[in-house]
Structure 1
Amino acid sequence: MNIGQVLFYVMAFVVLASALFVAGSKNLVRSIFMFFITLFGLAGLYVLALADFVAVTQIVIYVGGVLVLILFAFMLSGRETLNILQQQKSKFISLNKLPAILFAALFFVVMVNVLIKTGAGNLPWIKQAVATNAAIGPNDITVNNIGINLMTRYLLPFEAISILLMMALVGAAHLARKERGAV
């Protein structure tokens, strides 16, 4: 076992353990900070997969944007709402959560079945990309291509998404603020 495999297994363990803690924790503050560790662990896995641009994008967008938005929503929410959420009885497996658990198990079975039956190396578009030497290698510079396409060909969708995210931030701030004079 080489150092790359050891790093992969360590990062995978960190990601899975922190994600399970996020899903099972009752404390919202601890869940948010463990989500931070999960996102950084995923970025580390992207670096190990030679997808450095995706790793940087993961850190900038999810850690720098989404996680900060979650922290702001947490800080702006009222203490009464947080107390009610923490006082609720929440067993990990209960009868009212049975449909969600069954749906998740069914989804897992379908995904495993699809992964087993397709065989990633036998897909025709992958074979064609390898035959025509159109596969992206670890030394190819994709950041330039992504930047050029993002600012020319895909400029309108890029701006539409930025406006949508801004509207979500303003809406979250509006919903989180307390009404004046309401008790």
Structure 2
Amino acid sequence: MATEQLVFYFFAGAALISALLVATLRNIVRSIFLFFITLFSMAGLFLLTLADFVAITQVVVYVGGVLVLMIFAFLLSNRELLSEQQGARRTKGWGLHYLPAMLVAVVFFLVLASVVYQAVPDELDWVQQAGTKLLKPSDNTVHYLGINLMTRYLIPFEVVSILLMLALVGAAHLARKEKEV
């Protein structure tokens, strides 16, 4: 087995396991730190695919920005509110209140499975064009990415900046102390 495959399996395994643990653990602090591992593993996978700009953006924006905001929001949040929420979550067994979420999850899974089953990726134009253009590690992808971000993809770029601003406002709202009446 090649070294690249071992590195890929390491990052993929770390991303999958930590993402599953983020979704299943009840401890918020552990979930936040496992989310940190998930984001770093995804950055490693991006580096393996020669998407260096995306990997650096992943680390700077998500790990350096959003995750730090989540940690500060947790640290500055009201402890009584958190303990009430954890106490309310500890219901025993499966109740009918889980049914709508389970139905939505099953429908999404069926739609995703049907799309994957019907997809023929070899017939897509962009896949056929990509086969003729090979990306080398010495290519300057950041230059082309910068040009595309400021011309063709300017609106999605601005939407992402608004989303990050909303995350910042949400963290500030969670951190704010409410006056007791």
**TM-score range, shorter-chain basis?**
0.7 to 0.9
Which stretch of structure 1 is more off in the superposition, 53-62 or 4-13? 4-13
Give TM-score, length-normalised by structure 1: 0.82
CA contact (8 A) 2:72 2:171 kept: no
Q: What is the match of residue 144 of structure 2?
A: 145
2:24 is the counterpart of 1:24: yes
Gaps of 5+ in 1: none
2:21·2:31 contact (CA, 8 Å) conserved in 1?
yes
List gaps (5 residues or longer) in structure 2.
none
Deviation at 1:176, TM superposition (A): 3.2
Give the direction of change, closer, same or farther, for the CA distance of 1:3–1:56 in structure 2 (3 Å limit). same
Q: 1:128-167, aligned counterparts within 5 Å?
A: 129-130=129-130, 133=132, 135=133, 137-139=135-137, 140-151=139-150, 158=157, 161-162=160-161, 165-167=164-166
Q: How big is the alpha-carbon RMSD for the aligned residues of Structure 1 and Structure 2? A: 2.6
Q: Could you tell me the TM-score, scaled by structure 2's length?
A: 0.82
Q: Distance in 2 between matches of 1:52 and 1:24?
A: 31
Q: Structure 1 segments of 4 or more deviating over 6 A?
A: none
The structure-2 alpha-carbon separation of the partners of 1:169 and 1:105, relative to structure 1 and needing over 3 Å to count, comes to: same
Q: 1:158 to 1:78 in 2, by over 3 A?
A: same
Aligned CA distance change for structure 1 residues 160 and 50 (closer, same or farther; 3 Å) = closer
Change over 3 Å in CA distance of 1:104–1:159 after alignment to 2: closer
When the two structures are aligned, how many residues end up with a matched partner? 179
Q: 1:94 to 1:142 in 2, by over 3 A?
A: farther
- Give CA deviations for 1:13-47 in whole Å, capped at 9, x if unaligned: 11111111111111111110000001111111111
Deviation per CA, 1:63-87: give whole Å up to 9, x if none. Answer: 0111011112112211111111221
1:76-103 CA distance string (max 9 Å, x none) = 2111111112212156854322221232
CA contact (8 A) 1:24 1:92 kept: no
Distance 1:7 1:91, change over 3 A: farther
**Which AA in structure 2 matches 1:147?**
G
Q: Tell me the distance in 2 between the aligned counterparts of 1:80 and 1:114.
A: 45
Equivalent residues of 2:77, 2:175 under 8 A apart: yes
Percent identical residues: 55
Which residue pairs with 1:65 in the alignment?
A: 65
Q: Distance in 2 between matches of 1:90 and 1:6?
A: 41
CA distance in 1, matches of 2:15, 2:163: 29
What is the CA–CA distance in structure 1 between the aligned matches of 2:110 and 2:156, rounded to whole Å? Answer: 34
